[in-house]
Structure 1
Amino acid sequence: MTKVLDRLPRAGHLDAPQGHQTLRVRGHSVAWVPPALLLVGIMVADFNTTGEFRIISWLVLVPAIAAALCGVWATTFFALLTLVTYVLGDHAWPHQYQTGLPDFILVVLGGVLSVLACAVRVRGELRMLHMRDVAETTRRTVLRPLPPDWSGLEHAAVYLAADSEARVGGDFYDIQPGPRGTRVLLGDVQGKGLGAVEAAAALLGTFREAGYHEADLATVAERLEVRMVRHRGHTAALGRRDGDRFATAVLLDFPDDDPGAVDVVLFGHDPPLLVGPAGVRSLPPGDGLPLGLGDLVADGRPHVRRVPLAPGETLLLTTDGVTEARDRAGEFYPLADDVARALAADPRLVEPPRLVAHVRDGTLRHCGNRLADDTTVFAVRRSRS
């Protein structure tokens, strides 16, 4: 999972944002070193050239470099230091070798423009940090942190947004313990952007309530279908062009009364893989339509299928960012075959963290780190203790 961003500087602070200094060594900023070295280098070079060849006006580059690397106050300091250095250095030569007023004006204007450019850069970085903080808050709201080994389930998950700056998209997952068992939901809203995030949040809110209160998993599935239809109607009434969204999903229930089984409902989603000591097997494809499209068939009631689980068997759920990842030749990522080979080489791959890490790395390696869609890998099994 992506890490939580550092806290932002207070509004109005025009120094470089913490953590976004271009050059840092052991946590300390060394962004001042390049402009300082450039200033010293220009002066040394100028004093070691002939009088007719003056490069002291190149000092205008010093605040420009500082503007790209340092904060506003540091850039201002280098602009003033450059001006003082220019005056002292230019007057150290005989009168006939001085560069004079034109280059003095150039250094002054260069310093002023560098400070202004630095202020614009820092404000842009602060704005970017604020937007990333908003995106991170949204991600943690939609994809809330899950306690480890929650309600008798071991689990691990990784979410990779196709847009690395967005940090959140239409993929969603959650675990909801309840009085009659623990439910799991993973899904993928069609499309991208804030509309997909909004739909995912609506479905997760319904799941967290229905998954706890409803005794029948089929009723939970119906509640999800109704919520998606209501959401579609609301967005269509607003006149938005994304009012026809749907979502594929997998709904699981680990019943308390049968620890050797799991109930599964598939809403147009790829069936989970079961990864265990005996190998890798796939559940049969479901007959359910994606959420929001249940009214297209006469009997839209979702079907619940109970699947036996072998001891230590892990369910692997992924979104189409995994199954539709392509290499340069256009070949899809062979998820089941890759997991089976890795499991034969390392039986510990049944552990959810290892399994999720392997699929994540395999997906990124297969597509050359070029994700075409949001990607979620989720692995869950009953706790062995």
Structure 2
Amino acid sequence: MAAKKPQHSHTVLSWLPVLAMSVVAVGDIVTGPGVGFLPLASLGPAFAGLVGGWRRTAWFGAAALLLCVALGLYDGLFQERRGFMAMVSVVGVTGAGLAAAVMRGRREAELANVRSIAEVAQRVLLRPVPLTAGPLQAAVSYTSAVAEARIGGDLYEVVASPHGVRMIVGDVQGKGLAAVETAAVVLGAFREAAHDEPDLVGLGERLERSVARVLEGEKFVTAVLAEVGEHHEVVFLNYGHPPPMVVHEDGTADFPQPSEYALPLGLGVQGSGSPKPFSVGFAPGEQLLLYTDGVTEARDDHGDFYPLGERAYLLKDADAQGALDTLREDLVRHAAGPPHDDAAMLLLRYHRHAPGESVDAV
């Protein structure tokens, strides 16, 4: 329903010049020249400039001028100045509408260029995750809280490294371009370190140093790192992030949490020691959902949070992306109005593979 409103409004605005000039013509004929409807013919080109280009405005300006001449002759107004003044009014409004239409066209072209650059930036920053990585199938969903934006302060990535399949989902403090810049720093460091560091703790320490060097304690990033290796388990490092959700084959869901959360990235220099990794079983047929707090903190009309654990049954579609899209649609229906925070979800399925297939193969 919401998607149809802009199209409906555009249709109304498109027909508004025709309606305005029709009302002027009928009103002038019915009431006669005494009321003075004729100058209102300039409403046609004035409304035409609201949508469309300068050609549309010029066309309605010409039509309004012909209407003005026809009604002026019908009313006998060219024997006095009223008819000519009405024509001057139409020409003046048409000229102003043409100038406005040209300027709007230039702004729209500039906006289209900016959007194309933003789309390139999106592909570089939040590039598509691989459909399969080792024994995992992956799907991702991202909803930005900023209108018309496609990227924000949430981040995700999946890397098939020599040490296992490694994932990150994070949430940068704040919003806007500054948050996007911080997300780029975290993702750049993760993509490089994921291949180099032999264990997840070393990977986390590399991220902490990179983020602390850039942010200098002014902001922080909550994040959860995950690794799936040769054994049927997933290892986590949680930096103050919402716990992941593991969905078992019977549809039940668990939210594994560490015995002690680490400080968010960027604040680790204020703490002591490295965060402790913890592992949980993760076998073929099970699913892992990493997400940001924009999911679990989405509220409905009554102020209730989104019950993610209760909606785990929605992830039953045979296609991983289709299942995640179903969950996202349910989240959108639950939320009251537009989202107040970015919401990212990364779904990973442990599929059954052929005997002898390496789990580290992409």
Q: TM-score, normalised on structure 1?
A: 0.80
Aligned counterparts of 2:239 and 2:165: Cα–Cα separation in 1: 19
The equivalent position to 1:266 in structure 2, one of 229, 234, 238, is: 238
Aligned counterparts of 2:44 and 2:315: Cα–Cα separation in 1: 59
Equivalent runs, 1:216-231 vs 2, <5 Å: 216-231=199-214
Deviates more, 1:129-138 or 1:203-212: 129-138
Per-residue deviation, residues 83-110 of structure 1 (Å, max 9, x unmatched): 2332243124435887422222211211
Paired residue for 2:224? Answer: 250
Q: How much has 1:323 moved relative to structure 2?
A: 1.6
Per-residue deviation, residues 108-144 of structure 1 (Å, max 9, x unmatched): 2111111122223333333333333333232222111
Partner secondary structure for residue 224 of structure 2 = strand
Paired residue for 1:314? Answer: 287
Q: How much has 1:45 moved relative to structure 2?
A: 5.1
Paired residue for 1:208? Answer: 191
Partner secondary structure for residue 91 of structure 1 = helix
Aligned counterparts of 1:96 and 1:209: Cα–Cα separation in 2: 80
Partner secondary structure for residue 316 of structure 2 = helix
Partner secondary structure for residue 67 of structure 2 = helix
Paired residue for 1:77? Answer: 59
8 Å CA contact retained: 1:175, 1:182: yes
Q: How much has 1:319 moved relative to structure 2?
A: 0.4
Match for 2:223: what amino acid? Answer: A
Deviates more, 1:350-359 or 1:311-320: 350-359
The equivalent position to 1:181 in structure 2, one of 164, 182, 188, is: 164
Partner secondary structure for residue 130 of structure 2 = coil
Paired residue for 2:257? Answer: 284
Aligned counterparts of 2:77 and 2:175: Cα–Cα separation in 1: 67
Aligned counterparts of 1:283 and 1:101: Cα–Cα separation in 2: 81
Runs of 4+ in 1 over 6 A off after TM superposition: none
Partner secondary structure for residue 245 of structure 1 = coil
Deviates more, 1:130-139 or 1:162-171: 130-139
Q: How much has 1:168 moved relative to structure 2?
A: 1.6
Aligned counterparts of 2:240 and 2:170: Cα–Cα separation in 1: 10
Paired residue for 1:171? Answer: 154
Q: How much has 1:375 moved relative to structure 2?
A: 0.8
8 Å CA contact retained: 1:132, 1:165: no
Partner secondary structure for residue 69 of structure 1 = coil
Paired residue for 1:8? Answer: none
Aligned counterparts of 2:79 and 2:350: Cα–Cα separation in 1: 83
8 Å CA contact retained: 2:227, 2:234: yes
Paired residue for 2:103? Answer: 120
Aligned counterparts of 1:262 and 1:222: Cα–Cα separation in 2: 19
Equivalent runs, 1:336-347 vs 2, <5 Å: 336-339=309-312, 343=313
The equivalent position to 2:331 in structure 1, one of 353, 363, 366, is: 363
Paired residue for 2:268? Answer: 294
2:343 maps to 1:375: yes
Deviates more, 1:369-378 or 1:33-42: 33-42
Partner secondary structure for residue 100 of structure 1 = helix
8 Å CA contact retained: 1:149, 1:155: yes
**Pair 1:135–1:283, CA change in 2 (3 A):** same
Match for 2:316: what amino acid? Answer: R
- Structure 1 gaps of 5+ residues are 1-19, 25-29, 234-242
Q: How much has 1:273 moved relative to structure 2?
A: 0.6
Q: How much has 1:78 moved relative to structure 2?
A: 2.1
Match for 2:228: what amino acid? Answer: F
Q: TM-score, normalised on structure 2?
A: 0.85
Partner secondary structure for residue 49 of structure 2 = helix
Q: How much has 1:262 moved relative to structure 2?
A: 1.4
Whose relative contact order is higher, 1 or 2, with alpha carbons under 8 Å and at least 6 apart? 2
2:215 maps to 1:232: yes
- Structure 2 gaps of 5+ residues are 1-6, 354-362
Paired residue for 2:130? Answer: 147
Aligned counterparts of 2:90 and 2:211: Cα–Cα separation in 1: 63
Match for 1:327: what amino acid? Answer: D
Partner secondary structure for residue 155 of structure 2 = strand
8 Å CA contact retained: 2:130, 2:158: no
Aligned counterparts of 2:130 and 2:20: Cα–Cα separation in 1: 52
Q: How much has 1:315 moved relative to structure 2?
A: 0.5
Paired residue for 1:335? Answer: 308
2:247 maps to 1:275: yes
Paired residue for 1:111? Answer: 94
The equivalent position to 2:40 in structure 1, one of 58, 63, 67, is: 58
Partner secondary structure for residue 298 of structure 2 = coil
Per-residue deviation, residues 184-237 of structure 1 (Å, max 9, x unmatched): 11100111121111111011011111112222222111111111111123xxxx
Partner secondary structure for residue 176 of structure 1 = strand
Paired residue for 2:320? Answer: 352
8 Å CA contact retained: 2:315, 2:323: no
8 Å CA contact retained: 1:46, 1:55: yes
Match for 1:271: what amino acid? Answer: P
Per-residue deviation, residues 64-86 of structure 1 (Å, max 9, x unmatched): 12101110122123223322332
8 Å CA contact retained: 1:31, 1:70: no
Q: How much has 1:248 moved relative to structure 2?
A: 0.7
